[in-house]
């Protein structure tokens, strides 16, 4: 389908000559899923703003008692601009809100925004150079202050300041935000921007109050008292927080949505392990909801037999993957380990990386560890489907890995470990503590040993591994080991933010307090150029091809090794209604959670 064909079809929808259902069917014929076809119509101003995929909220009154949520990784901070891990992002989301959320079908739902921008309502520029957000007028911060355009502009100024060292800087650095009036802001782009729903949207868009943070911008950003005592606009007000343990909130009785929240109070308890979390919902009913159940599927099925709760499997773009450090984590350069000025002594050899990719038995990992919670993956970028590459294939072959290393001159020593010169193939392989990950590590270690590669396994407590503590040497963002594995989340129904994890300007370093998203520290000019082109490509077909190229570069170069796709697997009591989206935070729709009789 050509660009002209696509424009003509969209034009027919706008004129009423073609139904939305007919358009979606035609897009399906060329490989575009219904959610993405719907989003394409929304971008073009030919689709309704509100999502049709959310269950209706039925309660007519509050008073639902306490909601108890269990995360087996505990949060350590409550400022969304510093939230490096999912648990910190979700804990912040209890109190802070963005202008809009991503619904399960990949469409946008207004939250602090009065409506979703579109060409039709003249708030989305046809040339892709600006988007105008109209704000709700009935929103107040938890301390009673009025929410306004000044807060939105402030968040842009706060996040884009390099000295603030915000993880969200990539979403705000290259835009201009202007106040149109007290309840309208305009986001301006330097060039045509097809993906405008980044800044102020979903996980990257949670807004903090100007009146409490205006004196803590830049170098003093970590000193703000509200970093640990949030004052937001969300359905729950801050009650208490014990970093690394539990965060509690009470109902915001002045919330702008009618009859919400349903629960009088809520808590997210952190720590423990995934199996215990699953048991606390499915077997004992002690908790209402358990997050991110990295548990063998057979165990989940046994626990479900108690009929107290259900397992939720929600498809999205998350991926469990392995990264191979491109820098030297063991020696300092100018006082910095894994400095971009260094190179890894063996993992920069393409032959070694290719051999390692052949030693991951993904089929066994899927069949015997993850089950429905982890289909084997060939790609880093898997969803939405139109961005999924057909070029990448995976293979498990110890024999082929041995042949590759032999040809590359990595010879076995007396102890069986391969070496070239004074460099030996010995690695520290780190990940967070949970049973599926330790079992996956063991599968890979065993295969590697048959190939002359010695792997030392390191398991780090999840609250430490995913911590934002800059003094902690074992965080995944520092990556002070040779190999590491975890799940990276895709929090938008668009790959732009997801794929900036490998651009050269996002490299994690001491200078940016290890907040850069390129943790593997790989640099590739072709990748950078493809990403820059995709940022401004308004043709959806050409743009998809650019993201497929990026996936093929990073996977084909074996800089990262996809292991399994990670749909969102969680557990809920049978009585809990908890709308979930694979494109947003677990608790993006917390304001709609309620209990049935």
Domain 97-225: state its class.
alpha beta
Residue 538 pLDDT exceeds 90: no
Percent of the chain with pLDDT over 90: 78
* Range 469-498 average pLDDT: 93
* Range 358-370 average pLDDT: 96
Rounded CA gap, 62 and 261, in Å? 7
Rounded CA gap, 88 and 74, in Å? 8
**What tens digit of pLDDT does each residue of 217-235 get?**
999 999 999 999 999 999 9
* Range 253-266 average pLDDT: 96
SS (H, E, C) 406-420: HHCCCEECCCCCEEE
Q: What's the mean pLDDT when you consider all of the chain?
A: 92
SS (H, E, C) 348-380: CCHHHHHHHHCCCCHHHHHHHHHHHHCCECCCC
* Range 239-268 average pLDDT: 96
Residue 310 pLDDT exceeds 90: yes
- Spatial contact of 411 and 420, defined as CB atoms under 8 Å apart: yes
Element (H, E) at 390: none
CATH number of 319-492+559-566: 3.10.105.10
* Range 450-475 average pLDDT: 92
* Range 567-574 average pLDDT: 95
* Range 438-462 average pLDDT: 97
> Bigger pLDDT: 126 or 565?
565
**Predicted local confidence at residue 45, as pLDDT:** 52
Residue 32 pLDDT exceeds 50: yes
Which of 183-187, 317-321, 465-469 has the weakest average pLDDT?
A: 465-469
**Predicted local confidence at residue 339, as pLDDT:** 97
**Predicted local confidence at residue 10, as pLDDT:** 76
**Predicted local confidence at residue 551, as pLDDT:** 98
Residue 48 pLDDT exceeds 60: no
Residue 43 pLDDT exceeds 60: no
**Predicted local confidence at residue 62, as pLDDT:** 85
Of 10-24, 42-56, 373-387, which has the strongest mean pLDDT? 373-387
Please confirm whether the linkage preceding 384 is cis (ω < 30° from 0).
yes
- Spatial contact of 556 and 388, defined as CB atoms under 8 Å apart: no
Q: Name the E strands within 81-213.
A: 100-102, 108-110, 130-134, 175-181, 184-189
Percent of the chain with pLDDT over 70: 93
Element (H, E) at 196: none
- In 3D space, the residue among 494, 428, 482, 436 whose CA is nearest the CA of residue 462 turns out to be 436
**What tens digit of pLDDT does each residue of 381-439 get?**
999 888 999 999 999 999 999 999 999 999 999 999 999 999 999 999 999 998 899 99
pLDDT band at 40 (very low <50, low <70, confident <90, very high): low
Query: CA dihedral defined by 578, 579, 584, 585, rounded to 10 degrees?
Result: -10
- In 3D space, the residue among 195, 147, 136, 135 whose CA is nearest the CA of residue 171 turns out to be 195
Rounded CA gap, 129 and 191, in Å? 6
**Predicted local confidence at residue 50, as pLDDT:** 44
Q: How far is CA 583 from the centre of its chain?
A: 8
- Cα Rg of the chain, angstroms: 24
Q: Residue 267: what are its φ and ψ, rounded to 5°?
A: -145, 150
pLDDT band at 47 (very low <50, low <70, confident <90, very high): very low
- Spatial contact of 151 and 207, defined as CB atoms under 8 Å apart: yes
* Range 439-465 average pLDDT: 96
* Range 469-485 average pLDDT: 94
Rounded CA gap, 3 and 540, in Å? 8
**What tens digit of pLDDT does each residue of 139-151 get?**
999 999 999 999 9
pLDDT band at 33 (very low <50, low <70, confident <90, very high): low
* Range 33-62 average pLDDT: 64
Rounded CA gap, 132 and 135, in Å? 10
> Bigger pLDDT: 195 or 324?
324
* Range 561-585 average pLDDT: 95
Q: Name the E strands within 135-174.
A: none
- In 3D space, the residue among 189, 194, 185 whose CA is nearest the CA of residue 172 turns out to be 189
């Amino acid at each position: 389908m050509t660009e002209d064909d696509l424009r003509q079809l969209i034009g027919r929808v706008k004129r009423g000559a073609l139904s939305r259902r007919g358009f979606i069917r035609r897009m399906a014929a060329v490989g575009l899923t219904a959610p993405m076809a719907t989003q394409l119509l929304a971008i073009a101003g030919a689709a309704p703003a509100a999502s049709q995929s959310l269950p209706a909220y039925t309660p007519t009154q509050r008073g639902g008692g306490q909601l108890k949520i269990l995360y087996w990784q505990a949060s350590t901070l409550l400022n969304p601009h510093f939230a490096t891990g999912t648990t910190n992002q979700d804990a912040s989301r209890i109190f802070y809100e963005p202008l809009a959320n991503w619904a399960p079908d990949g469409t946008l739902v207004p939250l602090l925004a009065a409506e979703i921008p579109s060409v039709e309502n003249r708030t989305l520029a046809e040339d892709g150079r600006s988007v105008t957000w109209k704000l709700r007028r009935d929103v107040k911060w938890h301390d009673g202050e009025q929410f306004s355009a000044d807060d939105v502009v402030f968040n842009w100024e706060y996040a884009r300041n390099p000295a603030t060292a915000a993880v969200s800087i990539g979403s705000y650095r290259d835009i201009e935000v202007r106040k149109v009036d007290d309840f309208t802001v305009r986001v301006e782009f330097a060039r045509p921007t097809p993906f405008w729903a980044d800044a102020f949207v979903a996980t990257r868009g949670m807004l903090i109050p100007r009146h409490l943070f205006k004196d803590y911008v830049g170098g003093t950003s970590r000193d703000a008292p509200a970093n640990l005592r949030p004052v937001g606009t969300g359905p729950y007000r801050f009650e208490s927080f014990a970093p690394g343990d539990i965060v509690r909130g009470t109902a915001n009785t002045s919330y702008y949505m009618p009859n919400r929240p349903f629960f009088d109070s809520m808590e997210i308890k952190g720590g423990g392990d995934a199996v215990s979390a699953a048991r606390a919902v499915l077997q004992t009913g002690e908790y209402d909801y358990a997050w991110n159940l990295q548990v063998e599927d057979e165990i989940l099925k046994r626990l479900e037999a108690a009929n107290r709760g259900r397992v939720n499997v929600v498809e999205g773009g998350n991926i469990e993957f392995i990264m191979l450090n491109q820098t030297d984590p063991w020696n300092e350069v100018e006082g910095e380990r894994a400095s971009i000025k260094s190179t890894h002594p063996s993992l920069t050899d393409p032959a070694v990386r290719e051999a390692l990719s052949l030693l991951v038995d993904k089929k066994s990992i899927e069949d015997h560890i993850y089950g429905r919670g982890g289909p084997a993956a060939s790609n880093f970028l898997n969803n939405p489907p139109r961005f999924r590459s057909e070029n990448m294939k995976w293979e498990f072959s110890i024999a082929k890995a041995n042949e590759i290393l032999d040809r590359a001159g990595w010879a076995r020593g007396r102890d069986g470990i391969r070496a070239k010169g004074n460099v030996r193939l010995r690695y520290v392989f780190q990940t967070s503590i949970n049973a599926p990950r330790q079992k996956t590590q063991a599968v890979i270690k065993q295969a590697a040993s048959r190939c002359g590669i010695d792997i030392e396994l390191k398991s780090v407590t999840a609250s430490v591994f995913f911590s934002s503590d800059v003094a902690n040497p074992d965080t995944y963002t520092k990556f002070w080991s040779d190999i590491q594995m975890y799940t990276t989340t895709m929090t938008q129904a668009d790959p732009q933010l997801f794929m900036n994890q490998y651009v050269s300007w996002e490299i994690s370093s001491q200078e940016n307090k290890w907040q850069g998203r390129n943790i593997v520290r790989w640099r590739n000019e072709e990748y950078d150029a493809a990403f820059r082109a995709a940022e401004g490509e308004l043709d959806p077909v050409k743009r998809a091809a650019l993201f497929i190229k990026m996936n093929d570069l990073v996977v084909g170069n074996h800089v990262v090794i996809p292991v399994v796709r990670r749909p969102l697997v969680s557990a809920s009591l049978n009585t809990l209604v908890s709308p979930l989206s694979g494109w947003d935070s677990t608790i993006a729709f917390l304001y709609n959670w309620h209990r049935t009789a």
